[in-house]
A = this chain, B = another copy of it.
Amino acid sequence: MTERAETSADSDLSLANEAETRRSADSSERAYNIIRKLLVEFKLKPGERINEVQLSRSLGVSRTPIREALNRLASEGFVSLTPNRGFFVRSLSTEGLLDLYELRSIIESAAFKLMCERAEDSEIDRLRQYWEAIVDGYRDQPPDIILAEDEGFHLLIAELSGNPELVGQLASINARIRFIRRIQIEHPSHDKAQITSHSAIVEAAVKRDAENGAKLLREHIEMTVSATQQALKDALLKVFAPDNGADLKRRRRARDA
């Protein structure tokens, strides 16, 4: 069932981020990317136990790189490890997602303030340029591109804060909520508001209006949260009831610690 992971998955996945520790095109790295993709696309379902042997067979490598990848994913919060029972897919319950968005909001607004204090004028201008370069065709891009551009925008703010730890944190959060953001982006209702938000944020940055910009960011992120809840329900429904979307009452999955 989880067999036959698409083998072309190792290339296009790491769109944007991960300012962390880098690796090469090892088996281990490849496994990490593929498994993470399986996770964010719900090919591996929330709450499910991960069978290392199956995975190693379907990826064509031994269990060692699989386990290394899973350990890494456990540190990043994608999966959890119960001692002699194995790795489990951590189900992002609704609250879990909201917690993540809240953390993101905290970090981003803090990053914005720091950027206002510290960044060079030329750097602020880079942010402006970045946004202006993509704003025109923004709505017309495919979802993956929109997502990458959006993440890039926010990551750039984090970078201009001058604190690499913030960048790392944000990148890690992004990876965990990427799947839901992609779903959201496909609800076209949101794009317009997103564009005006970003423009307003850039404007605040140019003025170095830390308070207002931070507030805009908070609102920008929190605005998406309600839509997120619906998107999450849709996603879970799609996962647990791929065809018959009828009896959604009985689907009481997504229970997590």
Contacts and interface: CB of A to CB of B under 8 A. Distances in A.
A110 B106 contact: yes
A21 B79 CA distance: 8
Nearest to A110: B106
Interface in A92-111: 96, 99-100, 102-103, 106-107, 110
Interface residues of A, number: 36
B20 A99 contact: no
A166 B186 CA distance: 29
Interface in A73-116: 74-77, 79-84, 96, 99-100, 102-103, 106-107, 110, 114
Contacts of A102: 114, 163, 165
Nearest to A166: B103
A212 interface: no
A256 to B, nearest CB: 10
B74 A21 contact: yes
A26 interface: yes
Contact of A84 (B24, B67, B72, B107): B24
Interface of A: 20-24, 26, 64, 67-68, 71-72, 74-77, 79-84, 96, 99-100, 102-103, 106-107, 110, 114, 163-166, 168-169
- Shortest Cβ-Cβ A-B pairs, 6 listed: A75-B75, A24-B83, A106-B110, A99-B165, A103-B165, A21-B80
